Structure 1
Amino acid sequence: MKTLNNFPYHSALVLGLAKSGSAAAKALLQNGIYVRVNDMKANKEDEVVQELIKMGAEAVVGSHPLEVLNGMDLLVKNPGIPYDNPIVKEAMKRNIPIITEIELAYRLTESPIVGITGSNGKTTTTTLISDILNEDGQGVKVAGNIGIVATEIAQNLQENETLVLELSSFQLQGIIDFRPKIAVLLNIFEAHLDYHKTLENYIMSKCNIFSNQKETDYLVYNADDPILEREVKNAKAILVPFSVSKKVENGAYVEGNTVYFKGEKIMDRDKIVLVGEHNLENVLAAIAAAKLQGVDNSSIQQVLTTFTGVKHRLQFVTNMNGRQFYNDSKATNVLATQKALSSFEKPVILLAGGLDRGNEFNELEPYLNHVKAMVLFGETKEKLKALGQKLEIPSINIVENVEEAVEKAYQVSDEGDVILLSPACASWDQYRTFEERGDMFVQAVHRLM
């Protein structure tokens, strides 16, 4: 098990005891750091709290007194806790460094790190990269925002293994020295402003992925994204662009029906199973990262001719009576739904709606020309209904939830249609997670069968 070398902190407050918080607390305790944990929703009898107390942690649960910062020289924050939280604000006032457990994971391993971030496509690209490296026989472990705590994985990595990390803006905002050998930056568009407050703050958090890179590292980036084209000028790393629209000499691109990396043919485009232009971007990013890792083209080809998508991200569910069902529950914002809709030319029955974050949906207008029906649910159903009426979509239906939406969608569909769950909203008004929402969709489809 790896240890924290040259760690300049002697005491740490771990704020929030979700999976990442408890893992961070354990790692710190195992390295001789004095740990105080604080969680509003926990109580002393909880199993995880009892375990940490037995390991030597001090537990303050059920409230958030500012006194928990007393005597602490580091704050390890759950990524989901915003920076306007009173304890976080007080820590900043006291000049106490604030990190997320991604920083700890970096300090706990000497293995190479491939880090992936972006507003959309992170999970698909992360999965593609890890699958390709595995196919090539390289040792690889996947963690981060994909659902596996990075700290736990980092401590137990073997010398010949690579750590592939999916990274959110929330995680990246809390770094100090974190430095991936290969950083992959897919795209940036306006998102999570309820957390970051401004677009510039959000951009800065995303670009933290390359802020500590050196001249011997690599930055794979989307050369079709104007924000990234501007921001990567500040990078010290070797720039490796990818583009679906133009030839890029030092990166991955498409020309005709052929995918290239630095002028070398990788494979024919029409043999790639994943649908959608946005997935082609993810594919090019994965190819670039894999080639930088020395992967053989046959391994890339094997994965890309068989990989049908990540669960809940434009996931093909089934073909029933000539209708194709797709689960895109991970489309929690407008851009993701734009990309899903642009993946199809067939008539679409769109299932959408969810948490109302105050935004409008006018950006969907150019992508709805082949939508023949909308089935809407959640807090935003009336906003989406108004958009559909404005565009004179023939069939607009309001239902209570995703399960009812599946039944109604089938009723209004015809042979040859695509029935697409792509909500354009977060799930938290009705479901705990987008995964739960997607699972409900898939189960409802199977009940129809």
Structure 2
Amino acid sequence: MKERIVILGAGESGTGAALLAKAKGYDVFVSDQGQIKEKYKAELKQHGIAFEEGLHTEDQILNASLIIKSPGIPEKAEIIKKVKYAHISIIDEIEFAYRYIGDSKIAAITGTNGKTTTTLLTYHLMKSAGMSVALAGNVGFSMARQVAQQKFDWYVLEMSSFQLDGTETFKPDIGILLNITPDHLDRYEYNMQNYVNSKFQLIENMEPQQHFIYYADDAVIATDLKTRAVVPQEVAVSLNPASGVPVRFDGEKMTFDIAGKRFSIAQSETTLKGPHNLINTMASVSAAVLAGVEVEAIKEGLKTFKNAPHRLEPVGTIKGIEFVNDSKATNVDSVVYALGSYDKPLVWIAGGIDKGNDYNLIKEDVKKKVKVLICLGKDNEKLKKAFGGVVPEIQETQSVPELVRMALKAGREGDVVLLSPACASFDLFRNYEDRGDQFRKAVAELKKEIEGK
């Protein structure tokens, strides 16, 4: 009799896991408490995989020998409690896929901020150098789907703490930890150390020949490393010229002394701006070197990289004023990075659903750089209270086309209009992508109207 695997959640991750489980000869059942997207239903049907939606039928789930759950399902969910009570093993799709990669290698990236950029850049540097590499995890297609369909030499994974929580034997050949700041604490019993431990699950199983790249200036990482036995080879990255670590910014260039290679790269030779992207770039370049990419190929790759949308994305220039979409900045830490990326006067657009922000973290930068704050949200009182008297002028709107006109009127040639909201988007938008897309579209339409192009 075939071993039975039940998959909870039928998004990209769950569907990918189902395809891999079916390909490996398991009896597979998929259960989603919500509605399954049509494209995933069609795939499940095409591969003869049984599924249900709108409920979890316990009789069909609790007879499994292994459960693969979506990272979005919390431990406190009723069905998970029952699975645990039945002593059925629960893992994540990435852990499942990892068990079938053979001699392929993994570079895994985590951190509270900067994961996506670093993952995409690492993938780009390897791919543009001609390596056999797949992009997976929180970006691209699920790892399980790709393992099921094709063999790659390398998998570059963006991993959230939720995905790391679902690993048991998983160990990347290269692990990158960018930073740790409070986030998702509702999933970690409001205990910061639980969240820190989740991030460090990245290196839990790593071996001496493998490499752990981390940002040495991050206070949380630095403190935790003092009490933690680290088995893989450490590659510290720092913005401090005096740090003496192998990969650092010397005040002018990023310098690398890694895997027997010594070289330097100026940020102007890359497509990314801001100090946070120095960290991301140093981590990605280090990973690429360790994966075997030649330095010249890395330098070429850095010139052609395009970041994911909604991350300090230039979306147009009108009357000499640059409009930048940083809609992905849904917390204050992300806005710190955004403000640090520009020396020009800013018209700053912020607002939405506040996630318990401490605006004191950015008050000094805002005071120095922001000439006008435009609040885009249903309730802007906290923002107005925080920055009244700090910013010379505060305006507000709930309309994106009006917002863009207000910003153009407030700016002067050489200024930057920066959408970096510090808040979630759900009061006025479907998600941060929708917010950024609407902003990009409104800028393009206003530009066309003014310039007639």
Q: Whole-Å Cα distance in 1 between the matches of residues 434 and 428 of structure 2?
A: 10
Q: Whole-Å Cα distance in 2 between the matches of residues 265 and 297 of structure 1?
A: 8
User: Given the superposition, is the C-alpha separation of residues 10 and 428 from structure 1 closer, same or farther in structure 2, using an over 3 Å criterion?
Assistant: farther
Provide the residue aligned with 1:371 in structure 2. Answer: 370
Greater Cα offset, 55-64 or 253-262: 55-64
User: Given the superposition, is the C-alpha separation of residues 26 and 371 from structure 1 closer, same or farther in structure 2, using an over 3 Å criterion?
Assistant: same
Provide the residue aligned with 1:180 in structure 2. Answer: 172
2:224 aligns with one of 203, 224, 231: 231
Residue 180 of structure 1 and its aligned partner are, at CA, apart by 0.8
**So what's the TM-score if we normalise by structure 1?**
0.91
1:254 aligns with one of 249, 273, 293: 249
Provide the residue aligned with 2:450 in structure 1. Answer: none
| 8 A contact 1:250–1:261 mirrored in 2 | no
- Where structure 1 has 5 or more consecutive residues not aligned to the other structure, the ranges are 1-8
Residue 40 of structure 1 and its aligned partner are, at CA, apart by 2.0
Q: Deviations over 1:232-290 (max 9, x none)?
A: 43321111111111455563112242322117123234433421110101111011111
- 1:4-15 to structure 2, matched below 5 A, reads 10-15=3-8
Q: Whole-Å Cα distance in 2 between the matches of residues 238 and 156 of structure 1?
A: 32
| 8 A contact 1:12–1:72 mirrored in 2 | yes
Query: Counterpart of 1:318 in structure 2: which amino acid?
Result: G
Residue 56 of structure 1 and its aligned partner are, at CA, apart by 4.7
The alignment partner of 1:309 has SS state of: coil
User: Given the superposition, is the C-alpha separation of residues 252 and 437 from structure 1 closer, same or farther in structure 2, using an over 3 Å criterion?
Assistant: same
2:88 aligns with one of 82, 89, 96: 96
Q: Whole-Å Cα distance in 1 between the matches of residues 271 and 446 of structure 2?
A: 26
C-alpha RMSD of the superposition: 2.3
Q: Whole-Å Cα distance in 2 between the matches of residues 400 and 183 of structure 1?
A: 42
The alignment partner of 2:234 has SS state of: strand
User: Given the superposition, is the C-alpha separation of residues 400 and 256 from structure 1 closer, same or farther in structure 2, using an over 3 Å criterion?
Assistant: closer
Q: Whole-Å Cα distance in 2 between the matches of residues 46 and 435 of structure 1?
A: 21
Q: Whole-Å Cα distance in 1 between the matches of residues 42 and 139 of structure 2?
A: 27
Q: Deviations over 1:308-358 (max 9, x none)?
A: 633211112222211111111111211001110111121111111223334
- Where structure 2 has 5 or more consecutive residues not aligned to the other structure, the ranges are 448-453
Provide the residue aligned with 1:219 in structure 2. Answer: 212
Residue 55 of structure 1 and its aligned partner are, at CA, apart by 4.1
| 8 A contact 2:314–2:325 mirrored in 1 | yes
- Percent of aligned positions with the same letter in both sequences? 37
User: Given the superposition, is the C-alpha separation of residues 133 and 249 from structure 1 closer, same or farther in structure 2, using an over 3 Å criterion?
Assistant: farther
Residue 67 of structure 1 and its aligned partner are, at CA, apart by 4.1
Provide the residue aligned with 1:6 in structure 2. Answer: none
1:337 equivalenced with 2:335 (yes/no): yes
Provide the residue aligned with 1:158 in structure 2. Answer: 151
User: Given the superposition, is the C-alpha separation of residues 52 and 138 from structure 1 closer, same or farther in structure 2, using an over 3 Å criterion?
Assistant: closer
Query: Counterpart of 2:338 in structure 1: which amino acid?
Result: A
Greater Cα offset, 335-344 or 224-233: 224-233
The alignment partner of 2:362 has SS state of: helix
Q: Whole-Å Cα distance in 1 between the matches of residues 438 and 46 of structure 2?
A: 39
- 1:227-376 to structure 2, matched below 5 A, reads 227-232=220-225, 233-246=228-241, 251-262=246-257, 264-307=262-305, 309-369=307-367, 370-376=369-375
Residue 184 of structure 1 and its aligned partner are, at CA, apart by 0.7
Greater Cα offset, 70-79 or 241-250: 241-250
User: Given the superposition, is the C-alpha separation of residues 145 and 258 from structure 1 closer, same or farther in structure 2, using an over 3 Å criterion?
Assistant: same
Residue 166 of structure 1 and its aligned partner are, at CA, apart by 1.0
Query: Counterpart of 1:356 in structure 2: which amino acid?
Result: D
Residue 366 of structure 1 and its aligned partner are, at CA, apart by 2.5
Residue 419 of structure 1 and its aligned partner are, at CA, apart by 0.3
**So what's the TM-score if we normalise by structure 2?**
0.90
User: Given the superposition, is the C-alpha separation of residues 50 and 442 from structure 1 closer, same or farther in structure 2, using an over 3 Å criterion?
Assistant: closer
Residue 165 of structure 1 and its aligned partner are, at CA, apart by 0.8
- 1:133-148 to structure 2, matched below 5 A, reads 133-148=126-141
Provide the residue aligned with 2:201 in structure 1. Answer: 208
Provide the residue aligned with 2:188 in structure 1. Answer: 196
User: Given the superposition, is the C-alpha separation of residues 417 and 147 from structure 1 closer, same or farther in structure 2, using an over 3 Å criterion?
Assistant: same
| 8 A contact 2:68–2:93 mirrored in 1 | yes
The alignment partner of 1:262 has SS state of: strand
2:68 aligns with one of 70, 76, 80: 76
Q: Whole-Å Cα distance in 1 between the matches of residues 183 and 197 of structure 2?
A: 13
| 8 A contact 2:113–2:178 mirrored in 1 | yes
1:62 equivalenced with 2:60 (yes/no): no
| 8 A contact 2:94–2:137 mirrored in 1 | yes
Residue 158 of structure 1 and its aligned partner are, at CA, apart by 3.4
- 1:17-32 to structure 2, matched below 5 A, reads 17-32=10-25
Greater Cα offset, 92-101 or 123-132: 92-101
Provide the residue aligned with 1:3 in structure 2. Answer: none
Greater Cα offset, 180-189 or 258-267: 258-267
User: Given the superposition, is the C-alpha separation of residues 225 and 67 from structure 1 closer, same or farther in structure 2, using an over 3 Å criterion?
Assistant: same
Query: Counterpart of 1:342 in structure 2: which amino acid?
Result: G
| 8 A contact 2:129–2:301 mirrored in 1 | no
Q: Deviations over 1:118-169 (max 9, x none)?
A: 111111111211221123222221111114211112234435x311111111
The alignment partner of 2:424 has SS state of: coil
1:425 aligns with one of 394, 418, 423: 423
| 8 A contact 2:354–2:422 mirrored in 1 | no
Q: Whole-Å Cα distance in 2 between the matches of residues 218 and 26 of structure 1?
A: 31
